[in-house]
Chain A
């Protein structure tokens, strides 16, 4: 019944942290586009990364475009679905205009993300649009996500019969894997591992929420920063 378990041996933990760093990198990209920085990586049992996803709620005006659903949809539809299907390039251009973003950057984010640069400079392969992985059994997959899946995503993952979900920080408002509901324990359920690179995930979210308030008066901003710092420590 105790849900927050950490990974067993060192190798597993190193593996978890390796993939979680990639998920954090995906989340970081979302931050650049004014999205809540949550990212995820879908990994098959042999270690192949088959999909990834970051929040696209603001860009698509679609509240179901959470990182986990984006990743699954991208995988399921061979990369067509999550991004291009919902918006034409003209629509993206419009969004870019509204959000004061440059179009080429958007293009990179939404169309050419089949490689991603790792922290040591290597270009990591294969989760984007160019190399398509046919949908297979999700029960053999692990999902690495920077923040606990919300109830919607937790239910979606249960519906897709995911094998295991590894996440960073908890989601006290919406969390479906222990914080608000225990969706992962219902029916067949799935295994969860929490707290992998938790501090990094919190720091990333904090950077978003502190960024959001640039319009606020100075004294209020400081107070918010302090409060966030307290929460994190």
Chain B
């Protein structure tokens, strides 16, 4: 299988753990040694209303080590005896906001936070839970995201690529490599619905300035070629809905988001972007907040297939 699916960091981690579990049985979780399950971390204590602004401030530190954890822990409301009656006092509820583990590079952030808030040391799970039992255990120390392995397995099953799909994908990616073009393909019919080279020619014969326009990259041309088709042929489609984008190089953040706005179904690329790629670095295709998500695959030379097979999530399932 020459395609590797680009998954967000946390999912890759889950899959690895799942693999470990299958290979090593459940011994790992029941061996009683839970010391290595937790790691020391820093959290700051704040009032609930300050949580939002603080999280927005620290969100920038895209720490993949924390992806399996919830950011905020609610501290229990303090109650105290008042005479004979146990009264629940109206005390300000406090929240703990996780900043980073002792291993993460968050020193500057901690210094910044310590000017305004109290920084505490807490213990958080080192990795995502691999069973419900472990999840319960982890939750006692810090709120942890629950992982439904059954759901992941079912999803993986549903997302499995068919042999026909793989043939079409390979054929198209070979075409893209040989033509050095970018292509938008309608997988249902196998017809190419957009080509960067065509759009570039059409636009450049109207204005020389487009040649130097840094925003007119090949991926943008390919997307705009699909728009042209939709406008002129009354194609009955909506942007790139249901279409796959094939490109030699992984899209940049700008191009990736343009593809997301265009509702592409999949992006297939050959080379990882030399800068921070939209898919491999930002996981743009799986951002929770956006209104559209798509799948992304990297193609590998068949010669290196065996070597890459180690990381090849799909290969194991097909």
Contacts and interface: CB of A to CB of B under 8 A. Distances in A.
A152 B257 contact: yes
A81 B207 contact: yes
A96 interface: no
11 contacts: A2-B57, A62-B224, A63-B223, A63-B227, A64-B223, A76-B213, A85-B203, A86-B227, A87-B231, A156-B254, A178-B56
Contact of B214 (A151, A160, A173): A160
A43 to B, nearest CB: 19
A122 B60 CA distance: 44
A86 B257 contact: no
A81 B216 CA distance: 11
Contacts of A69: 215
Contacts of A174: 257, 289-290
* List of 5 A-B pairs having minimum Cβ-Cβ separation, nearest first: A152-B257, A155-B254, A63-B261, A62-B227, A155-B253
Contacts of B56: 3, 178-179
A85 to B, nearest CB: 5
Given A91-B231, A172-B289, A77 B210 contact: yes
B24 interface: no
A80 B152 CA distance: 50
A1 B112 contact: yes
Interface residues of A, number: 43
A78 B224 contact: no
Interface string B205-229: 0110110011100001001100110
Contacts of A86: 224, 227-228, 231
A151 B215 contact: no
Interface in A158-199: 159-160, 172-174, 176, 178-183, 185-186
A81 B213 contact: yes
A60 B227 contact: yes
A179 B287 CA distance: 12
Interface in B248-293: 252-254, 257-258, 260-263, 276, 282, 284, 287, 289-291
A150 B284 CA distance: 12
Interface of A: 1-3, 60-64, 66, 69, 72-73, 76-78, 80-81, 85-87, 91, 94-95, 135, 150-152, 155-156, 159-160, 172-174, 176, 178-183, 185-186
Contacts of B258: 63-64, 152
A160 B262 CA distance: 22
A37 to B, nearest CB: 17
Given A61-B239, A150-B257, A174-B290, A85 B206 contact: yes
A61 B227 contact: yes
A180 B62 CA distance: 11
Most buried by B among A172, A178, A185: A178
Contacts of B207: 77-78, 80-81, 85
Nearest to B275: A187
B91 to A, nearest CB: 29
Contacts of A179: 56
B213 to A, nearest CB: 5
A3 B58 CA distance: 11
Contacts of B291: 173
